[in-house]
């Protein structure tokens, strides 16, 4: 499981989308355009894109937490690489 791409946004505030993320779950499955959202309590969750009025995918709490952790690490690495 790895982050293929993480692009920060400029959103601020409660429930702000802080980045768009592309993820490779394994050699067979890639997901694009996931939103990394900062929650009011400071935690981050990853959400799949919408397909109409429904989510295209959902994740268990454990997987969502791990993906958010990987996405935050990728964002941190990208911000350090730019300096």
Q: How many domains, the chain? A: 1
Give residue-wise pLDDT tens across range 5-61.
998 888 676 778 889 999 999 999 999 999 999 888 888 889 998 889 998 899 998
Residues in the chain, overall count = 83
Q: Is the pTM of this model over 0.85?
A: no
C-alpha triplet 13, 73, 16: angle, nearest 5°: 15
Domain span at 11: 2-81
Residue 83 has pLDDT above 60, yes or no: no
Consecutive H or E run containing 63: helix 61-81
């Amino acid at each position: 499981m790895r982050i293929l791409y993480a692009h920060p946004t400029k959103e601020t505030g409660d429930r702000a989308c802080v980045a768009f993320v592309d993820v490779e779950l394994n050699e067979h499955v890639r997901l694009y355009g996931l939103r990394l959202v900062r929650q009011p309590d400071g935690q981050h969750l990853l959400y799949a894109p919408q397909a109409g009025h429904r989510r295209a995918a959902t994740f268990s709490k454990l997987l969502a937490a791990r993906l958010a952790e990987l996405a935050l690490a990728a964002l941190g690495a990208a911000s350090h690489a730019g300096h």
